[in-house]
Amino acid sequence: MPGNYSELEEKLFSYFREHPNVLGRVVEDYTNKNPAAMEGFIERYLLKKSLKELMIVANRTAIPFASQVVEELNKIPEVKSTGQTISLANISINNFPNSELNMLSDDSIRHRSVYAIGQWAHDKRPKARSIHDDFAEYNILLKMLSGIGVNAVISVLPELIYDRQDKAEVREPISIKWFFDTLNESGGSNLKRYITVDPHSKQIQLAAGRPVDIMSSMGLLAGYFARLPDLFGKEIVAVSPDVGGTGRAKVFARTLGYILDKEIPLAIIDKERKKGGLAKAGDVVGQDRVKGRVAIIVDDKIDTGGTIDEGAASLLLCGAIPPIYAGAPHCLLSDSPKRNIPTTQFLFERGIKVVGVGTVYRPDKFVNEAAEWFTELSYARYIAHAIWVNFTRGSFTNMQKRLDDELRTGKVDIKDYVRKSTWQPFIRETYCCECGTEITQTRSVLIEVEGVRKQAYLLGCPSCKADYVKIGSPDK
């Protein structure tokens, strides 16, 4: 048997493509000569063959995040060893004049295992996309996949909407059940599983109707705070903003303590409102643990920032060292109708520093402008490994533990997870940056940039007649 196994492998690959039924006989013939080499070859051959079945798709808002996930997938050693690259499927999505969606897959997806990544645009600007626009688009995407004849669809939703409405109050619907029922109806029998990150509560699995793999971002957040220079040499307390989030805060405190090799105490804010909706210092359970320490509030979602602001005020009254930090996987930062200023400005003026995980779509412009008080950590690597483990039928729990351990031990630098802004003056989806006139999206295609397929939007301004090509999301 020749010593140059890579050359032999290429010959065998070519032969097996022409004679697929003789694989067993050739393996038996060569196994006795060099079992280790043949075993490695068989693994690479089968993996290379199975990679052709893996396909990644996304709705338009999720294109930037999905592109990062694809990049991380191609960095996985097993994928690199095959010499193949995974790319984002080319899905053309266009709007009719009345806003109806038209969707077409330009790539062959039949008999593939498809991972459909979805994100929602929490944008309240006039004429901007809303979460319901993206939800409708994602449902149509699932419906298209179910009609094409794919082998399986795995829905990858880093952030769930309606997950806070997971139990019935008086005359209120359980909206998370409607959310999953709609997706299950669109995906049909091909929709096999969901992958998500830190839902409001794990009981949403009862409403899903499909198996749900729940990932945790607490290891990533703890890894960031453990190596934040501003916290070096300071005592820290982890804080849950309500009783329901105590378990999440405990996991964060335990992980942070493991990295720093010391115990991190836990405090809890009683979320019961007093007169006028204000939180008092007495609402903090464990006040003696807060005094003289830097407080990190750990929540699942930061929406209007009201809970974080009330909690920060209570912690400062208890003697916490400013500034107050807040960490959450899902930073929506929606504007409150009760305030005259945006939530972003409100949190900045309050001196609260926020660290979020990139489960929510955020344009580069925002990351650039909010760098003084907001940091976003990329979760694309975790999602990429979750997809790979699901595809190769590996252990989901071991994968999560391995990635968290890499951060704990310093094997992977936390700086690699911090999103760096590449923002430049840009064109919005509906307005021209030259004259401010509303523009129309004429076409949406995928192009290849440095070996990676990315979405390109071809836009034209009806006023100044300027033509633009944008890579990434409409706001990127």
The SS3 call for residue 382 is helix
404's enclosing H/E stretch is helix 396-408
The 10 Å CB-count burial string (b at 16+, else e) for 213-223 is bebbbbbbbbb
Distance CA 475, CA 365 (A): 8
Distance CA 442, CA 452 (A): 23
Residue 365 bears catalytic tag: no
Exposure of 335 in the CB half-sphere (CA atoms within 13 A): 9
Distance CA 62, CA 312 (A): 32
The SS3 call for residue 52 is coil
| Among 367, 361, 408, 396, residue whose Cα is nearest residue 380 | 361
Contact 459, 475 (CB under 8 A): no
Distance CA 367, CA 475 (A): 12
Give me the amino acid identity at 252: F
Q: In 410-449, which ranges are E strands? A: 440-449
Residue 49 CA from chain centroid, whole number: 28
Distance CA 142, CA 145 (A): 5
How many helices and strands in the chain, by DSSP H and E?
15, 19
Map tokens 């939703």 to a residue.
157
Q: Which two tokens stand for residue 135?
A: 């939800």
| CA dihedral angle for residue 212, residue 214, residue 215, residue 216, rounded to 10 degrees | 170
| Among 172, 190, 103, residue whose Cα is nearest residue 138 | 103
Distance CA 198, CA 196 (A): 7
Distance CA 87, CA 58 (A): 12
Identified catalytic residue from 49, 143, 192, 271: 271
Please list the active-site residues.
271
